Amino acid sequence: MLESEACENTNYNPLIVAFCCNWCSYAGADGAGTARKSYPANIKIIKVPCSCRVNPLFVLRAFLRGADGVILCGCHPGDCHYTSGNYYTRRRMKLLMSTLSYLGIEDGRMRVEWVSAAEGNKFSETMNSFAETIKSLGENVKLRDLRCKK
C-alpha cells in the first residue's frame, strides 16, 4: 500500500480506526485497492457485519485506548444489506457526535460516511481527507486514558 501524501515528511502519524460494514464499505476499500487508489496506512480497518453493529462504546473505547480519530463507514441509507441497519446507525451516531462536541471534544475526530461497494474512489478520498483532518487536529489527548500514553 502506498503511503499517503498527507502523512509524508512529518513525525506525527495519527492512529485512525475505521469501522467498515462488510457489504458496502469494506468492499469499497477493496475497490480502492483494485483501482490502485491509495489511502493512508495508519488507518486500521475493522470489519463489522453492519454499521449498526457499532456500539457507541466501541467508538469511545477506541479513543480511550489511543485512537486519534474514528471513522464509521456503511452502506448508503436505503441500501443496507439488512434493510434498515444504517438508518439506526444514522440516528445513533448523530447523537454521539453531538454529545462529544458538547463534552468539548474537537469536532471532526469522529466521522460517519456512506461508501458503497462501487465507490473505491470515494473510499480513498474520504480516508485521505479524514487523515488530513486528524493530522491538523493533532493527538487525541482529551479522550485518551492517561495510562495509554504512547
Partner 1 sequence: MQKIAELIKKEAESLLKENKVTAVWAWQPGEFYYDNSPVCFTAPEQLDKLVYNEFCPSNLGKYLMAGSKKNETMAVFAKPCDTYGINQLIKDHRIKRELITVIGIPCSGMIDIKKIKNQGVKGIISVSVSGDDVIVTTAYGDKNFKKSEVLLAKCMSCKGSDYMIADKELGEKMEVKCQKLNPEDGVKKLEAMTSQERFAFWQQELSKCIRCNACRDICPACSCEQCIFDNQEAAVAGKASANTAEEQMFHIIRAYHVAGRCVGCGECARVCPQGIQLGLLNTKFAKDINEFYGKYQPGADDDSKAPLVDYKFDDVEPTISAKGVR
Query: Could you tell me the smallest distance in angstroms from the CB atom of residue 38 to partner 1?
Result: 21
Query: Could you tell me the smallest distance in angstroms from the CB atom of residue 47 to partner 1?
Result: 20
Query: Could you tell me the smallest distance in angstroms from the CB atom of residue 106 to partner 1?
Result: 5
DSSP 111: E
Nearer to partner 1, 32 or 80 (CB): 80
Nearer to partner 1, 44 or 91 (CB): 91
DSSP 18: E
Nearer to partner 1, 35 or 57 (CB): 57
3-state secondary structure 23-85: CCHHHHHHHHHHCCCCCCCCEEEEEECCHHHCCHHHHHHHHHCCCCEEEEEECCCCCCCCCCH
Query: Could you tell me the smallest distance in angstroms from the CB atom of residue 23 to partner 1?
Result: 18
The contact set with partner 1 (CB under 8 A) reads 56-57, 60-61, 64, 77-78, 84, 87-88, 90-108, 111-112, 133, 136-137, 142-147
Q: Which three cell numbers stand for residue 39?
A: 489511502
| Nearest 10 degrees: Cα torsion 100, 104, 109, 112 | 30
